[in-house]
């Protein structure tokens, strides 16, 4: 153990005392009349000049980008202490909300089993435990239950624990899985012999967490991550051999691409995918011959996206090749380049083709039209087709787990803002559906007590923006209701109108909950995404503001009771609209917010940066630099009044580094001209996804809800 110098010891003591002083001292500035506010931590200013294209930005808080610096850690702890002190009077409310939210969850519960290669697989939870247990039964559901992994046992002694990528070998005797105990999404790959229960000595660190098994039951392919956490190399490992001798199969040298390996649904091929925002490339290998070389399906091309599924003698390809909203094509296994692709489902201007699954006699398409998902069923024999009818204004529907081809039953999932998550089996021949399981909400919940609506706000450029909202029946549209407006609006990720039982804690207290389906997602088709990215990114922000103003005009709420929330890229949205229209909101929660846009996108050592220039723009080019600078939340903080804010982050966040929200809060504190509370919550044991565990994650939900409810007093 290295000795600590006297100087370092004195410095550490000084820093600790400074933190205590910061957290316990009081200021005279009132939050509300008759109240005093605890003085927040004040981050030291150490000016750093950042120059690009002749423009110099001064970042006074760049020094917070030092996760291992004790001074940084002490500052973050001081922020947590300040938050706890300011919200101490809400502790009883937080606890009540937490118990209420958790109390709706059925603690002992099982998922719906699905059949794959002779076994039924399902996941279970037991009362009082945080983590899942993975089970299977052989041939039928009356067979003896076999525990694959009990994550509760595995997680003992860890503050954070996540298992991912469970994959079974062809002979059903081995399982591979990834484990992350830090929340940086760097998984160690483990292997278990399911006949003996033994954990094999093969142990592979720094992977994406999933293995693709060859059919020899000993060879497998896995993905290694680089120092920026980019999946960049595919290796082949043979069980029982040294990991150091694993063969490199593929190296993705282009740092704008990620690579991964998986086994086809047919189990006949190992497929390597390599994808960027606007381009993709796939390779395939006969799973019976893992010693052979992979073959390219179609070489990567700029702006050409495609995805691959094997069925019969063809690859079926979902692609944007001459098809903005994607189309379905097929190609023989021997001739896979795009000049050989034959159209199965044509492109449509008003329908986005999102996904598909294939069966022996039918195939099913997951489409999106006018912002809503649709499941379209087509018979191979005569191309006859029909759609499933879901019967609600706003909902979520998706193709679920369907590992087998030779079946006439489709497994799909459904929920809405008032309907709990439901799993159905649908007979494609008889058109009969069977509800297998609906999420059980404990207590007095009834869907009949709530109302959902689908509305359209007219954006400032004339575009109609969908809004899905829900509230408790009996609510008067008198302009005096609290309303929480949520959105994401990036990466073409569509926000579905799905159910969450924790949301009931707001609805039952008179809140309206609304989702703004703003540009940057893909709700209205591929163009909706393209109109909210790169040099069109500001449409995302103005859409959100226009939706908020529409909801006020329609008398759902008013400025003094309007709240907003968003996370990650949705946190960028929160930061942008706060700078643009700080007067519009009573309070805002920004979760793991991506707010220091230019600095991050100029630093290729930060995870995700290089792969996202096609999403946000490359600030090394002046046109993009200037545009990004004009909305970057951190750069655009100014001396003005801001609403009350709660900002959350995780010390180990691998997607939005903790220092972005930390710097943003420090700068806001320095420049804002109001006395509204500004809080930073740092989870010191978690990352981008928050705390692990089934129930613990709701501590942060309770914190956020208490923050909103307290502002209404």
User: What is the DSSP secondary-structure string of 431-494?
Assistant: --EEEEEE--B-SS--GGGEEEEEEEEEPTTS-EEEEEEEEETT---SS---EEEE----TT--
Distance (Å, whole) CA 9 – CA 103:
47
My answer on whether 98 and 221 are in the same domain is no
Q: Which two tokens stand for residue 508?
A: 């039952």
My answer on whether 561 and 669 are in the same domain is yes
Residue 228 has a pLDDT of 84
User: Phi, psi (5° rounding) for residue 218?
Assistant: -140, -25
Give 503's DSSP letter.
G
My answer on whether 543 and 637 are in the same domain is yes
Q: How far is C-alpha 515 from the geometric centre of its chain's CA atoms?
A: 16
Model pTM?
0.89
My answer on whether 686 and 594 are in the same domain is yes
Query: Quick check: is 580 in a domain?
Result: yes
My answer on whether 656 and 589 are in the same domain is yes
Overall domain count for the chain: 3
User: What domain range is 314 assigned to?
Assistant: 309-346
Q: Which residue has the tokens 């110099």?
A: 56
Low-confidence ranges of the chain (pLDDT < 50): 1-36
Q: What's the angle, vertex CA 507, arms to CA 503 and CA 508, rounded to 5?
A: 115
Q: Which two tokens stand for residue 137?
A: 């039964």
Catalytic residue among 202, 502, 635, 653: 653
Domain CATH code at residue 298 = 2.130.10.120
Q: Which residue has the tokens 């329908």?
A: 351
Beta-sheet strand order (sheet of 280-286): 258-263, 269-275, 280-286, 295-298
User: Phi, psi (5° rounding) for residue 444?
Assistant: -100, 25
Residue 21 has a pLDDT of 40
Residue 695 has a pLDDT of 82
Residue 686 has a pLDDT of 63
Residue whose C-alpha is closest to residue 708's, from 500, 470, 483: 483
My answer on whether 506 and 577 are in the same domain is yes
561-589: string of b/e by CB count within 10 Å (b at 16+)?
A: bbbbbbbbbbbbbbbbbbbbbbebbbbbb
Residue 340 has a pLDDT of 98
Residue 14 has a pLDDT of 35
Of 304, 326, 359, which one is at a domain's C-terminal end? 304
My answer on whether 336 and 204 are in the same domain is no
My answer on whether 631 and 519 are in the same domain is yes
Residue 323 has a pLDDT of 97
My answer on whether 494 and 627 are in the same domain is yes
Q: What's the angle, vertex CA 410, arms to CA 407 and CA 411, rounded to 5?
A: 120
Distance (Å, whole) CA 325 – CA 317:
14
Q: Which residue has the tokens 């001396």?
A: 639
My answer on whether 172 and 214 are in the same domain is yes
Q: What's the angle, vertex CA 409, arms to CA 405 and CA 414, rounded to 5?
A: 115
568 is catalytic: yes
Residue whose C-alpha is closest to residue 213's, from 179, 183, 173, 254: 173
CB 113 within 8 A of CB 122: yes
Distance (Å, whole) CA 648 – CA 591:
5
276 is catalytic: no
Give 208-254 pLDDT, tens digit per residue: 999 999 999 999 999 999 988 899 999 999 999 999 999 999 999 99
323-350: string of b/e by CB count within 10 Å (b at 16+)?
A: bebbbbbbbebeebebeebeebbebbee
Query: Quick check: is 267 in a domain?
Result: yes
Query: Quick check: is 430 in a domain?
Result: no
Of 249, 283, 304, which one is at a domain's C-terminal end? 304
> Which residues, 6 or more positions from 511, have their beta carbon under 8 angstroms from its beta carbon?
471, 481, 482, 483, 484, 708
Where helices occur in 87-116 by DSSP H, the ranges are 91-103
Distance (Å, whole) CA 174 – CA 387:
40
Query: Quick check: is 137 in a domain?
Result: no
289 is catalytic: no
Q: Which residue has the tokens 């009082």?
A: 128
The helix/strand/coil state of 74 is helix
Distances (CA, A) of 172 to 175, 197, 240, 403: 8, 13, 18, 15
Catalytic residue among 169, 531, 688, 692: 688
Query: Quick check: is 107 in a domain?
Result: no
Query: Quick check: is 186 in a domain?
Result: yes
Query: Quick check: is 14 in a domain?
Result: no
Of 277, 304, 331, which one is at a domain's C-terminal end? 304
Residue 536 has a pLDDT of 98
Residue 689 has a pLDDT of 61
Domain CATH code at residue 603 = 3.40.50.1820
E strands, 169-230, where? Answer: 174-180, 187-193, 204-213, 219-225
Q: Which two tokens stand for residue 543?
A: 């859409």
Query: Quick check: is 85 in a domain?
Result: yes
Q: Which two tokens stand for residue 351?
A: 């329908």
Quickly count: other Cβ atoms within 10 Å of residue 78's Cβ. 22
Quickly count: other Cβ atoms within 10 Å of residue 684's Cβ. 13
My answer on whether 531 and 648 are in the same domain is yes
Residue 32 has a pLDDT of 38
Residue 9 has a pLDDT of 33
Catalytic residue among 568, 591, 610, 654: 568
Q: Which long-range contacts (CB under 8 A, 24 or more apart) does 343-348 make?
A: 344/316, 347/322, 347/323
My answer on whether 557 and 622 are in the same domain is yes
Residue 697 has a pLDDT of 86
């Amino acid at each position: 153990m290295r000795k600590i110098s006297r100087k370092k010891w004195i410095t550490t003591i000084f820093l600790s005392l400074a933190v205590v002083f910061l957290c316990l001292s009081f200021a005279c500035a009132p939050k509300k009349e008759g109240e005093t506010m605890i003085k927040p931590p004040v981050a030291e200013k150490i000016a750093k000049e950042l120059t690009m294209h002749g423009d110099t930005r001064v970042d006074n808080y760049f020094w917070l980008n030092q996760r291992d610096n004790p001074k940084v850690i002490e500052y973050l702890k001081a922020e947590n202490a300040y938050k706890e002190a300011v919200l101490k009077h809400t502790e009883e409310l937080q606890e009540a909300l937490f118990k209420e939210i958790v109390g709706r969850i059925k603690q002992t519960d099982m998922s719906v089993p699905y059949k794959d290669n002779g076994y039924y697989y399902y996941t279970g939870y037991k009362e009082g435990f945080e983590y899942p247990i993975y089970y299977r039964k052989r041939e039928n559901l009356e067979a003896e239950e076999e525990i694959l992994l009990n994550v509760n046992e595995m997680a003992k002694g860890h503050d954070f624990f996540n298992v991912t990528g469970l994959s079974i070998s062809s002979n059903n005797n081995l399982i591979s899985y990834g484990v992350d105990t830090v929340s940086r999404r760097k998984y160690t790959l483990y292997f278990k012999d399911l006949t003996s229960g033994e954990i094999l000595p093969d142990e592979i660190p720094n992977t994406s967490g999933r293995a693709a098994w060859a059919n020899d039951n000993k060879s497998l392919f896995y993905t290694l991550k680089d120092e920026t956490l980019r999946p960049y190399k595919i290796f082949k490992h043979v069980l029982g051999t040294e990991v150091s001798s694993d063969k490199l199969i593929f190296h993705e040298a282009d740092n704008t691409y990620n690579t991964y390996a998986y086994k086809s649904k047919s189990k006949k091929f190992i497929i390597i995918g390599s994808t960027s925002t606007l381009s993709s490339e796939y390779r395939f290998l006969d799973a019976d011959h893992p010693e052979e070389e992979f073959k390219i399906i179609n070489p990567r091309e700029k702006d050409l996206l495609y995805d691959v599924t094997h069925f019969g003698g063809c690859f079926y390809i979902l692609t944007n090749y001459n098809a903005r909203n994607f189309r379905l094509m097929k190609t023989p296994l021997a001739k896979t380049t795009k000049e050989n692709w034959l159209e199965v489902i044509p492109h449509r201007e008003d329908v986005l083709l999102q996904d598909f699954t294939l069966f022996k006699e039918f195939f099913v398409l997951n489409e999106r039209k006018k912002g809503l998902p649709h499941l379209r069923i087509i018979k191979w024999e005569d191309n006859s087709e029909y759609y499933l009818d879901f019967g609600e204004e706003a909902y979520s529907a998706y193709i679920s787990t369907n590992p087998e081809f030779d079946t006439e039953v489709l497994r799909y999932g459904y929920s809405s803002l008032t309907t709990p998550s439901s799993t159905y089996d649908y007979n494609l021949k008889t058109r009969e559906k069977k509800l297998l399981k609906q999420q059980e909400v404990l207590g007095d919940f009834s869907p009949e007590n709530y109302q959902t609506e689908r509305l359209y706000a007219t954006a400032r450029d004339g575009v109609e923006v969908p809004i899905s909202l829900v509230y408790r029946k009996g609510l008067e549209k008198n302009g005096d209701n609290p309303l929480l407006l949520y959105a994401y609006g990036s990466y073409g990720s569509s926000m579905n109108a799905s159910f969450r039982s924790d949301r009931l804690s707001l609805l039952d207290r008179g809140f309206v909950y609304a989702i703004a389906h703003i540009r940057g997602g893909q709700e209205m088709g591929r163009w909706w995404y393209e109109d909210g990215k790169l040099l069109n990114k500001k449409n995302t922000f103005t859409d959100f503001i226009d939706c908020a103003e529409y909801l006020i005009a329609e008398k759902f709420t008013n400025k003094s009771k309007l709240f907003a929330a968003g996370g990650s890229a949705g946190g960028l949205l929160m930061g942008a609209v706060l700078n643009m229209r700080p007067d519009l909101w009573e309070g805002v929660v920004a979760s793991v917010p991506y707010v220091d846009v230019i600095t991050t996108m100029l630093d290729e050592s930060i995870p995700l940066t290089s792969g996202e220039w096609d999403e946000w723009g490359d600030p090394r080019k002046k046109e993009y630099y200037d545009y990004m600078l004009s909305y970057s939340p951190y750069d655009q903080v100014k001396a003005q009044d801001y609403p009350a804010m709660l900002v959350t982050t995780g010390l180990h966040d691998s997607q939005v580094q903790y220092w972005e929200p930390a710097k943003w809060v420090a700068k806001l504190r320095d420049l804002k001209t109001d006395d509204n509370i500004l809080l930073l919550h740092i989870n010191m044991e978690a990352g981008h996804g928050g705390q692990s565990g089934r129930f613990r994650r709701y501590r942060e939900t309770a914190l956020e809800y208490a923050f909103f409810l307290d502002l209404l007093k």
